[in-house]
């Protein structure tokens, strides 16, 4: 006689994990000591030629940030670069750089340069080089320099193209988050620009109106592609 129907199935309670609280990796004392070490290193390796004074304030140039990267063992990789033609027939070059520390921690930096910027020799080569320099400086600074603004970036902000950002245009932080999403989604910035230039006549990715930002981010997520595995 089959008694299998008489058997009861015992169900075990599913353990519910409590949300983990994000905690600092070091103590306050260790954090202060690490900051002090960075400031001491900065004071020791800065040379007079590394400093550029802009509007009465000192900023550190490319030479300092490259030296800092060397001392911290930071590697830099060019993830994306492209250019866009503007309505005034100038070109804007864009670059996205990843800075990676020996422990695997990384930061993404982006930079842009327009061929019509004040004080710039109007060549494609110069504009591209400056865009890459700005992206490298930003990535290194975000990784080890506390987000300090470099001299080349201040020049970018003071230039007439692009001018001061209106309130209805995306912020630098939103632009950076959008670029990170593109990299994570394996979506080319050129494709995003062409799609939304066609839809809304945007002049560049840095000048996307706030009202279109959600639409842009959703489009990037919808068009995400699997990343190709690196060959060993």
pLDDT score of 63: 92
In a 3-state reduction of DSSP, which class is residue 232? coil
pLDDT score of 161: 36
Looking at the DSSP bridge assignments, the partners of residue 77 are 98
Q: What is the mean pLDDT of each run of 10 residues along the chain (232 residues)?
A: 57 66 78 82 86 83 91 92 87 91 88 82 86 92 78 58 58 80 84 86 81 93 77 49
* Phi then psi dihedrals of residue 227, to 5 deg: -80, 140
Q: Across the beta sheet with 75-85, what order do the strands follow?
A: 75-85, 91-100, 106-114
In the Cβ-directed half-sphere of 219, how many Cα atoms lie within 13 Å? 15
**Burial level of 136, CB count in 10 A (0-12/13-18/19+)?**
buried
CB within 8 A of 199, min separation 6: which ones?
A: 212
Cut 0.85: pTM above it: no
pLDDT score of 156: 44
pLDDT score of 159: 41
CA–chain centroid gap for 99, Å, is 10
pLDDT score of 166: 60
CB within 8 A of 19, min separation 6: which ones?
A: none
């Amino acid at each position: 006689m089959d008694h299998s129907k008489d058997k009861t199935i015992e169900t075990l309670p599913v353990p519910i994990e409590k949300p983990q609280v994000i905690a600092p990796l070091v103590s306050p004392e260790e954090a202060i000591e690490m900051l002090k070490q960075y400031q001491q290193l900065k004071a020791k390796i800065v040379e007079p030629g590394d400093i550029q004074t802009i509007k009465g304030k000192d900023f550190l140039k490319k030479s300092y940030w490259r030296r800092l990267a060397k001392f911290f063992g930071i590697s830099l990789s060019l993830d994306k670069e492209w250019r866009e033609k503007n309505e005034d027939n100038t070109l804007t070059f864009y670059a996205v750089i990843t800075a990676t520390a020996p422990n695997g921690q990384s930061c993404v930096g982006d930079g842009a340069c327009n061929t019509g910027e004040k004080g710039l020799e109007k060549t494609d080569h110069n504009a591209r080089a400056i865009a890459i320099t700005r992206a490298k400086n930003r990535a290194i600074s975000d990784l080890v320099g506390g987000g300090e603004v470099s001299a080349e970036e201040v020049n970018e902000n003071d230039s007439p193209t692009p001018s001061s950002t209106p309130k209805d245009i995306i912020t630098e932080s939103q632009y950076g988050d959008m670029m990170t999403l593109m990299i994570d989604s394996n979506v080319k910035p050129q494709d995003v620009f062409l799609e939304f230039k066609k839809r809304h006549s945007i002049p560049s990715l840095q000048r996307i109106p706030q009202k279109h930002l959600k639409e842009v981010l959703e489009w990037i997520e919808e068009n995400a592609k699997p990343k190709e595995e690196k060959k060993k």
